[in-house]
Structure 1
């Protein structure tokens, strides 16, 4: 079993790759199936015995599949003739202008698929698909006209923003910044300036994980004050500012930022307009508060709050990244108050997930646990776990 098939097996725990075909025309369905398998364009082309250019043209809608190519793709994905039948129902494209409606609707669904996979398995199995689809969208953009052209560029911006997040999760902040800047540029092509405000939030997060607290707070403040900032973006910015002030040790400023976070979050409950980043109303403000208490080294309060909130409102089961992140933070707080046995139990249960998602940001959290656990008096089994955690934290 190769890496792509292994990824497909892991993804099937959350969403089966053998389910009926997703909605959409041939190109969108092909891209969705490829995303579910974690195959790159090159891997898909190899398995179907066609060129990479053919796959790109099919997925972008620039070309219709011939019966032979459709049959080859059907065989590669094992769809039992359904993919070939779908190709037969598709009309012939005669004009050179892209009809953006089906492209945008279809790839919006693909983006959600990829985000589901990313939350479950980490960046390694989605990055190739994100990059190739983004390339196809930017190639298709000039072939569309009017509002349709703007829609394609805006969708390319969404893909670029998430690709930047995956680059950061893979431990490449320079690549994360590059994709974030591309998202800003393409968002402007699509007539949306809010992505420029949200990009400052992303830069605050990158600075935070780089250990540059002053820069993180500065980017968060600029995001909150940006003319195009929405309540969602201001909520994200307040969260980053709160965590920055906590790391600086400024409890008062942290508390004020947390209040802004709660206030802006309340503004957007039920709002279904376009937004960037995760939906803040799906988060848990108390877990964010506990995270700030941890950074302020108020370990006992943080440990109690993490325990209460993770028991009362567990994170979304499919979001392995968030589950691992908050579990490790709880363990760090427990280690900080000397409850090493409880802390090690949590980390031991979480290590398989951390290994699977291979997230640089979660590994950084694990490093914080090691820092708190090492000075404690530990038994042989606990020491072995701490050493294993230290090795994993280093990547």
Structure 2
């Protein structure tokens, strides 16, 4: 962040006038700095000699910091006194009565959302959820006091924060909270004048249903998303991807193939347009990795293993974040185990386990449980059995 950006964040969102802090009040800044470092609440508490409960209350805006606590946080994060400057400022420009100037707030939090997404993809939900929730509160406090386009902009930004918080809730193994946040995203998106979030929310609901094993519900939600009046090619591509995987898990190869073709068609239509407002970039998706995942769901293990090997061998074909790489590694290992190549499967899983432990993703752990089920049906040596047992323990969380 350059100095102009930092000063804008300080004036409108309670940020520091220095150059190193993200915008936001003390709790948001503390949570964001913690996420950047990849520190747990316990680690911050250890470094600051402040209780874990107090750190949580600070991040969630339930408690204001004292100067001594702020100074301890400054020392822990090496922020040179900037956190002390935030003490007593609260959420200036947000809780005051009357109209507020919100342009710099929105611009600052747009950048923070991108940063938190990067952290979430690499480290999982535990380091970003507190920041996401705190910033969402700031935005929903500010939106009713803004006017015109700025009010709509804040509601849309709050909707995007809610949608990603729902993703993180799903990754944390809390589908009920994921649905609640998704519904909030729809409500706030409508207040901002954007109905596309209602269409994309159906894709999210398809994903939640898929991960709880309800293929029929996943297919139904995907069909509703694709047919929604506000759906664009990006949303239809996401819907087709969910439908393809759900059909595969139900053993319907024909419907799966049709959905894969729809994914390719809508994805090609989406490329070259404006950046999608909801969900990952379709053009960054890999149709062959999706096809490999579908072949795995259909039980065509050899075909899936060959596709995974070809695509994972090309680094440019893989997603860049740790979560997706671990997910596809486990899927490849599951296909290999299903094909009877347990030794190759175990080597892949052994390399992926440290990343899986770090990101602590419920959806990746579910993939790991699938590997365990396949591997345990095959003959394995003592070392392989130990790895399978370790994988089973990790899959249980």
- TM-score w.r.t. the length of structure 1 is 0.84
Tell me the equivalent position of 1:62: none
In 2: Cα distance, 1:370 partner to 1:72 partner: 45
Pick from 175, 178, 186 the counterpart of residue 177 of structure 2.
175
Cα deviation, residue 83, structure 1: 6.5
Whole-angstrom distance in 1 between the partners of 2:143 and 2:115: 22
| 8 Å Cα contact 1:32-1:110 kept in structure 2 | no
How far apart are the structure 1 equivalents of 2:233 and 2:204?
16
Counterpart CA distance in 1 for 2:388 and 2:307 is 24
Distance 1:352 1:70, change over 3 A: closer
Which residue of 1 is the match for residue 34 of structure 2? 37
Q: Any stretches of 5+ residues in structure 1 without a counterpart?
A: 1-18, 60-64
In the alignment, the residues of structure 2 paired with residue 68 and residue 389 of structure 1 have an alpha-carbon distance, to the nearest angstrom, of 44
Q: Which residue of 2 aligns with 1:248?
A: 250
Q: Distance in 2 between matches of 1:386 and 1:379?
A: 10
- The aligned counterpart of 1:4 is none
User: Offset at 1:81?
Assistant: 4.7
Counterpart residue number, 1:122: 124
Partner of 1:152: 154
Provide closer, same or farther for how the CA distance between residues 334 and 140 of structure 1 changes in structure 2, counting only shifts above 3 A: same
RMSD: 3.2
Secondary structure of the 2:340 match is coil
The correspondence for 2:221, drawn from 216, 219, 222, is: 219
- Structure 1 position 29, deviation (Å): 3.0
Residue 234 (structure 1) aligns with:
236
When residues 21 and 376 of structure 1 are mapped into structure 2, their CA distance, relative to the original with a 3 A threshold, is: farther
- Specify whether residues 391 and 97 from structure 1 end up closer, same or farther in structure 2 by C-alpha distance, changes over 3 A only: same
Structure 1 equivalent of residue 19 of structure 2: none
Do the aligned partners of 2:234 and 2:276 also contact (CA within 8 Å) in 1?
no
Show the counterpart of 1:378: 380
Residue 339 (structure 2) aligns with: 337
Count residues with an aligned counterpart. 364
Deviation at 1:56, TM superposition (A): 5.1
2:110 aligns to what? 108
Contact 1:120/1:357 (<8 A) preserved: yes
Q: Deviations over 1:227-251 (max 9, x none)?
A: 0101110000000010111111111
Q: CA deviation at 1:51?
A: 12
CA–CA distance in 2 between the matches of 1:337 and 1:136? 52
8 Å CA contact 1:32–1:113 kept in 2: the answer is: no
SS state of the match for residue 23, structure 2? helix
Match for residue 352 of structure 1?
354
User: CA deviation digits over 1:358-394, x for unaligned, max 9?
Assistant: 1010001001101110011100000001111111111
Question: Which stretches in structure 2 are left out of the alignment for 5+ residues?
Answer: 16-21
The match for 2:141 among 139, 152, 159 is: 139
- Where 1:98 maps in the other structure, the secondary structure is coil
Q: Residue 204 of structure 2 aligns with which residue?
A: 202
| Residue 280 of structure 2: aligned partner | 278
2:368 maps to: 366
**Runs of 4+ in structure 1 over 6 Å off:** 19-22, 49-55, 67-73, 83-87, 92-95
Q: TM-score, normalised by structure 2?
A: 0.83
How far off is 1:268 after superposition?
1.5
